[in-house]
């Protein structure tokens, strides 16, 4: 029995617009970077025009754009206190640089937030989850261009003003550190961009994030706004001092983003890294001022841990974004992601020790193939096991004294995977009848884990 969870704990699930909504050109939506990567983040980028409408899996995804009332009702049945999703920037500013927003896009999110309100489900809204207007890549060169800061600020102010009475929890950029590994998705740059180009674009995004924090405070003083990190915690493979230092440096390569967003300035270790790697970027005095608008809380995703070693003969295990040396003590998922529940407790402690700010776990889950039995039931005990083990560790971290605001499991309803654009890699408590070829009725069905999560939430974690 686990009594660690506070009464205010925000239990729920997390999705992203481009992985659930579909309707990729509906109601004047513009093309996004995600629409140009129909096979996922590491697939090729393709040309898109109206002739190839609805040919790719993400174009319709799970049709959340039209089916959200049914899905929200199912989330409410599970007892969700919170739903994390994102606004598709291209529904609001189809090309990114318009003066006026697209009213039909704004109206969609009004309907969505009103539906959530009916069930007292708190929206946790990401401003940019792995997508940006393609117009800003084509016409401005992506985040390498400083003008993107203004376009993003305008977008953020538009949605803060529109939804100020409906949304009180916001996140700026999903997994902001992922641009180091997937620059097109993260900052709209070609994969062969130089490190200086990538860090300059990242710098612009960090300033844009800080400007959004300021705008949120001005427009919705009672809201909370956080950053979002891909929590790729790394252990030293051995106790060899070289491995310990390697792990320290690898962790700093992503904690750097948190350091800027939480502490408001570039850390010293980054200046050394830039010098030693001939990375040169422009940071103005005005930028430095802006960066002081730091976040209220830190959110992060956690799926796996990894190891660091100076032994270059060892191969790496691939997650969706990160590749890390595998830990010989841990099992792996069907997709080779190492499963480490205690790593979540460790990560929560690392982040809390470093920042002393509330933490929100906004993604965690198991991608697995679900095979319905002869009666059509999905007995996903492996998913229950994974989530239960991780949540027990969240309880342990709370007992360690870590301030945890909530937990939104990734993909509470099956959705299109980000890295490989598959339907068959399922995370949900709710099964969606659609396969990788786009066939299926899109019917929703409760899996065994649906009932398990319902009891976890209704007991506030005591059922773990
Ligand atoms: C996170 C992303 O990195 O991992 C999500 O924020 C993504 O968008 C999730 O879906 C799981 O990865 P994948 O590739 O299995 O969908």
pLDDT at 386: 98
Of 201, 208, 220, the closest CA to residue 150 belongs to 208
Q: Report CA(366)–ligand 1 centroid distance (Å).
A: 10
Q: Which residues line ligand 1 (CB under 6 A)?
A: 16, 19, 130, 174-175, 230, 301, 320-321, 363, 367, 410, 417-419, 425
CA–centroid distance, residue 282 to ligand 1 (Å): 31
Is residue 195 helix, strand or coil? helix
**What's the average model confidence in pLDDT over 129-139?**
98
Element (H, E) at 297: strand 297-301
Calculate the dihedral angle through the C-alpha atoms of 422, 228, 112, 433, rounding to the nearest 10 degrees: 20
CA 373 – ligand 1 centroid, Å: 27
Catalytic residues: 363
Structure tokens at 319: 């997650």
Q: What is the mean pLDDT of residues 360-383?
A: 96
Please tell me the distance from the alpha carbon of residue 397 to that of residue 393, in angstroms, as a whole number: 6
Average pLDDT for 99-108:
98
Ligand 1 pocket mutation, candidates 332, 419, 423, 424, criterion most atoms within 8 A of CB: 419
Name the phi and psi angles at 192, rounded to 5: -90, 20
Give the pLDDT score at 10: 98
* pLDDT for residue 78: 98
- Which ligand 1 atom is the nearest neighbour of the CA of 230? 3
Q: Does the pLDDT value for residue 3 go beyond 90? A: no
How confident is the model at residue 52, as a pLDDT? 66
d(CA 360, CA 124): 11
Average pLDDT over residues 209-224: 98
Q: pLDDT by residue (tens digit) across 443-452?
A: 999 999 999 9
pLDDT beyond 70 at 28: yes
Residues in CB range of 169: below 8 A, 6 or more apart: 82, 122, 123, 124, 125, 223, 224, 225, 226
Burial of 381 (0-12, 13-18, 19+ CB in 10 A): exposed
Residue 91: per-residue pLDDT: 98
Mean pLDDT of 112-123: 98
Pocket test for ligand 1, best of 339, 363, 366 (most atoms within 8 A of CB): 363
Gap from CA of 86 to ligand 1 centroid (Å): 13
> Which atom of ligand 1 lies at the shortest distance from residue 130's CA?
8
What pLDDT, on a 0 to 100 scale, did the predictor assign at position 50?
Answer: 64
What digits encode the pLDDT tens for the residues 46-92?
A: 988 766 677 899 999 999 999 999 999 999 999 999 999 999 999 99
Burial 12-49 (b: 16+ CB within 10 A, else e): bbbbbbbbbbbbbbeeebbbbbbbbbbbbbbeebeebe
User: Does the pLDDT at position 317 exceed 80?
Assistant: no
pLDDT reported for residue 450:
98
Q: Is the pLDDT of residue 321 over 80?
A: no
Token pair in block for residue 95: 């090309």
Phi, psi of 165 (to 5 degrees): -90, -5
332: nearest Cα among 314, 309, 316: 316
pLDDT (tens digit per residue) in 62-74: 999 999 999 999 9
Distance 284 CA to ligand 1 centre (A): 34
Show the domains of the chain with their CATH numbers.
10-458 (3.20.20.80)
Taking CA atoms only, the protein residue closest to ligand 1 atom 15 is: 417
Atom of ligand 1 nearest to the CA of 419: 14
Which ligand 1 atom is at minimum distance from the Cα of 420? 14
* 406-426 tens-digit pLDDT: 999 999 999 999 999 999 999
pLDDT for the residue 312: 83
**Number of H-type helices and E-type strands within the chain:** 15, 14
Buried b (16+ CB within 10 A) or exposed e, 241-264: eebeebbeebbeebbbbbbbbbeb
Q: Give the pLDDT confidence score for residue 324 in this predicted structure.
A: 83
* 15-292-164 Cα angle (round to 5): 45
pLDDT, position 11: 98
Which SS3 state, helix, strand or coil, does residue 230 take?
strand
With the most atoms of ligand 1 within 8 angstroms of its CB, the residue from 127, 334, 417, 428 to mutate is 417
What spacing in Å lies between the alpha carbon of 320 and ligand 1's midpoint?
7
Q: What proportion of the chain, given as a percentage, has pLDDT over 90? A: 92
Instruction: Look at residue 293 in the predicted model and tell me its pLDDT.
Output: 98
CA of 275 to the centre of ligand 1 (A): 33
Look at ligand 1, atom 9, and give the residue with the nearest C-alpha: 418
Name the average pLDDT for the chain: 96
pLDDT at site 51: 63
> Is ipTM beyond 0.95?
yes
Atom 2 (ligand 1): residue with closest C-alpha? 418
Choosing from 14, 171, 418 the residue with most ligand 1 atoms within 8 A of its CB, the one to mutate for a pocket test is 418
Looking at residue 54, its pLDDT comes to: 74
Structure confidence at residue 26 as a pLDDT band (50, 70, 90): very high
* pLDDT of 172 higher than 70: yes
Q: Give the start-end residues of each E strand in 158-260.
A: 169-173, 224-230, 234-236
Name the nearest CA neighbour of 132 among 107, 149, 112.
149
pLDDT of 332 over the 60 cut: yes
The H or E element that residue 10 is part of is strand 10-14
pTM, whole model, 2 decimals? 0.97
Smallest CA separation from ligand 1 atom 5, residue: 418
């Amino acid at each position: 029995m686990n009594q660690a969870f506070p009464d205010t704990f925000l239990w729920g699930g997390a999705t992203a617009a481009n992985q659930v909504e579909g309707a990729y050109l509906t109601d004047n939506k513009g093309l996004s970077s995600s629409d140009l990567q129909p096979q996922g983040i590491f697939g090729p980028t393709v040309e898109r025009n109206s002739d190839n409408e609805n040919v790719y899996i993400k174009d319709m995804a799970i049709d959340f754009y039209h089916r959200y009332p049914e899905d929200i009702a199912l989330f409410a049945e599970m007892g969700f206190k919170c739903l994390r999703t994102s606004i598709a920037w291209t529904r609001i500013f189809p090309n990114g640089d318009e003066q006026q927003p697209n009213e039909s896009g704004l109206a969609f999110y009004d309907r969505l937030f009103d539906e959530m309100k009916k069930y007292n489900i708190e929206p946790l809204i990401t401003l940019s989850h792995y997508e940006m207007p393609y117009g800003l890549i084509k016409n401005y060169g992506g985040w390498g261009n400083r003008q993107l800061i203004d376009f993003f600020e305008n977008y953020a102010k538009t949605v803060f003003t529109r939804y100020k009475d409906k949304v009180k929890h916001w996140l700026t950029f999903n997994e902001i550190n992922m641009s180091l590994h997937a620059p097109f998705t993260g900052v709209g740059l070609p994969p062969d961009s130089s490190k200086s180009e990538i860090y300059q674009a990242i710098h612009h995004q960090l300033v844009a994030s800080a400007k959004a924090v300021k705008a949120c405070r001005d427009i919705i003083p009672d809201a909370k706004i956080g950053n979002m990190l891909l929590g790729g915690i790394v252990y030293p493979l051995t106790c060899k001092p070289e491995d310990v230092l390697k792990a320290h440096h690898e962790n700093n390569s992503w904690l750097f983003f948190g350091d800027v967003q939480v502490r408001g300035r570039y850390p010293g270790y980054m200046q050394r890294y830039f010098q030693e790697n001939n990375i040169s970027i422009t940071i103005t005095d005005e930028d430095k001022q802006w960066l002081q608008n730091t976040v209220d809380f830190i959110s992060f995703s956690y799926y796996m841990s990894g190891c660091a070693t100076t032994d270059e003969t060892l191969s790496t295990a691939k997650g969706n974004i990160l590749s890390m040396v595998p830990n010989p003590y841990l099992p792996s998922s069907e997709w080779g992601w190492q499963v480490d529940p205690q790593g979540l407790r460790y990560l929560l402690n690392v982040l809390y020790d470093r920042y002393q700010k509330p933490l929100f776990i906004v993604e965690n889950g198991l991608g697995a193939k679900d095979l319905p039995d002869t009666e059509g039931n999905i007995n996903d005990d492996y998913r229950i096991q994974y989530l239960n083990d991780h949540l027990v560790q969240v309880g342990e971290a709370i007992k360690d004294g870590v301030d945890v605001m909530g937990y939104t499991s990734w993909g509470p309803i099956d959705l299109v995977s980000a890295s490989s654009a598959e339907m068959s890699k399922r995370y949900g408590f709710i099964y969606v009848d659609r396969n990788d070829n786009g066939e299926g009725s899109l019917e929703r069905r409760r899996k065994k884990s649906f009932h398990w999560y319902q009891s976890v939430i209704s007991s506030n974690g005591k059922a773990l």
